[in-house]
Every structure is written in C-alpha cells, then in structure tokens.
Structure 1
C-alpha cells in the first residue's frame, strides 16, 4: 500500500479501504466494511471522509503524490534514455498498478477511479505531464535529446501512451511488457542526431 496520508488515522482508513476495494470491488464495498477493517465505528469514519468516493479520491491523490517524486527521481538517475524512461514509467504506475491488476476487481477499480476520482486523476496527470516536460526541457537544453515536437505535447503523449497501455493490458505482465516497449521506443526517438 502506498503512503497516502501523513495522518495515521487517515492512512489506516485508506489502507483499509484499499484492502476492501481489492477484496470486494468498489460497488460492493460499504463504509461499514472500511470502518470495520480500520478498527473504528462508521460515524468515526464519516468524520474523516464523507463517502467511499472521497476515500477513493484520497487513494488516487496519494498514488500521484508518491508517483510524482519517484518519476522525477527516475528521470534524474543514471543510465540510457530508455533506462531512465523505463524507470519513470514503472514509477508512474507504482505499486498500485500491480495491486490493481492482480485484483479480481481490477477493471471495476479502474472504472471507479474515473467516476469517483476523476478530478484527482486529472490533477495528478497534469502534474505528471509537468514533471516530464521539465525533464524534457532540461535534457533538450543540455543537448542530451532531440525533441520531435513541442515539449508540452511530447509530455502529454508520454502520459497518454501510458494510459493506453494501462487500459489495454490484460494483466500486470502484459502491462510491464508494454511499459518496457514504450520506454525503448521513446528513448530511441529522443536520441540526439
């Protein structure tokens, strides 16, 4: 489970919610299920989160918060362009991707994310694009890469391609293969002339 909150009570709620969502699916998980797993009453749970959609949004925000730092670290690490992009793309999915794809309710959780946490996803994706754009700009300015277009557009394509892999992969193994292939393709395309 990712670190989604600095508040221990909220972290316990989010971890319990993730366990419940993974076990029962989003639709079948109740606030009672989450409260029971977190060792609290349902009224106490409502003091922290108004509904399970807000809890899911908290999970998504936590995922992006962790992913942003890990993506930036991966891009700043050593290795080839493809190696750094591969590490960044893996960090973008993070441990949540494997857990979600390994869950029998993975598809439902993907769909729930869009309906329950669409705003949190949009904010997180924008922040990811900014991390990639910052890295691309710095690498281009240093002459380490050749950009095939506008830096913002290339960053958007990175994130869009990652979404495509996520939504078309049947399992985590095919997702991981797609991520590796995408990194190799983008790494080759960015090689300086």
Structure 2
C-alpha cells in the first residue's frame, strides 16, 4: 500500500507504522510498536526517524508520491473528462483513504496529519494541483475540455472539493459516492460545447 523507498528497512518502518497507527491510533502508538512491527530494535528505528511525528510525515510524503504518479496515469487514460477525473480522484485517495476511513482511528489520523505533517500535506497538494493543471492545459489545447476559469483555479478547485468530500464523509462508501458525483459534475462542466 505504501511505497516510499527502495530501502527495505525504511519501507518496513513505514508499513509497520501504518499498521500500528491504524490499529492503535496516532496517540497510543509508540516507537516500540513501530520498531517491533518493522523487525528492529527501538534504537535502530531512531537511526531512521527521530520520532513518530517524523514517521507520520514520511507516510504522508509516501502517500503523495504514489498518488501523484497514479493521478497522472489516470488522467492519461482514454475516456471522457468525467471518467478520467473519476479515475484520478480514486487514485488521489488511493487505498490509504479506504484504510483510514475504515479504521476506528480514522478521524484521529486525519487530525494528526494536519497537526504533525501539515507542511508535507501542503507540498503534496501543490504537486497535485500541478498535475491537474498540466492535464487541463493539455486537454484544453487539444480541444477536449473547455475551461471554466484559469487553469490554476480549476485545479485548486478540484483539490479543495476533494478535501471537502473527505472531511464530510462518514465512511468510505459516502466518500466514494461523493467522489463519483464530483467527477461527474466537473466532467460535465469541462465538456466542450
């Protein structure tokens, strides 16, 4: 689910951290829990990360790294703008979104993300807006989409709307439904006349 590094130890740490955070929540997860799950000692864990906040930041960075690649691939597929946006929106959340929303600690993990990894989230969101903006420019130049405003503003609106759906959904099913509705609405608005 999380591919962050070609370093197997770092990969094991992030996978262990995700499992621990999903199971115990951010506050109750200890560095010992993460180290044990990664098959290493706590002192060895500290050689890679200074604390669990840094590990959580690494998870956020890994999520966005994977999401950026997957969103770009989804946008480059065949289909209507609505179909391509739906695939991109699904890729943006990725399997991590379903796992987080299915976790009894999902809300705590969302809150932890904002408080301990806000900079990584901001950087990831800027990069996502750039991916959407590049796609919009390319599609508009080819006559396949009509823009409803400046490219940067439309791309920012995509990401802001996705955040709104994430923060107002009670479970993954409502998130998925909202995401599909959003893709259909944006796709209809982008359809050339």
TM bin (shorter chain):
over 0.9
Deviations 1:130-174 (CA, angstroms, capped at 9, x unpaired): 000000001111111110000000000000000000000000000
Alpha-carbon separation, structure 1, partners of 2:18 and 2:87: 25
Residue 109 of structure 2 corresponds to 109
Residue 164 of structure 2 corresponds to 164
Residue 186 of structure 1 corresponds to 186
Helix, strand or coil: the match of 2:154?
Answer: helix
Residue 6 of structure 2 corresponds to 6
Helix, strand or coil: the match of 1:48?
Answer: coil
CA contact (8 A) 2:144 2:192 kept: yes
Alpha-carbon separation, structure 1, partners of 2:27 and 2:4: 22
Deviations 1:27-66 (CA, angstroms, capped at 9, x unpaired): 0001011011111111100000000010001101111001
CA contact (8 A) 2:26 2:112 kept: yes
**Equivalent residue runs for 1:27-106 within 5 Å:** 27-106=27-106
Alpha-carbon separation, structure 1, partners of 2:90 and 2:15: 22
Alpha-carbon separation, structure 1, partners of 2:118 and 2:12: 23
Deviation at 1:5, TM superposition (A): 1.7
Aligned residues: 193
Alpha-carbon separation, structure 1, partners of 2:4 and 2:180: 27
Alpha-carbon separation, structure 1, partners of 2:74 and 2:2: 18
Normalising by structure 2, we get a TM-score of 0.99
Structure 2: stretches of 5+ with no match in the other structure: none
CA contact (8 A) 1:2 1:95 kept: no
Which segments of structure 1 move beyond 6 Å, counting only runs of 4 or more?
A: none
CA contact (8 A) 1:114 1:121 kept: yes
Deviations 1:52-97 (CA, angstroms, capped at 9, x unpaired): 0100011011110010011011101011111000000000000100
Normalising by structure 1, we get a TM-score of 0.99
Please give the root-mean-square deviation of Cα atoms over the aligned residues, in Å: 0.6
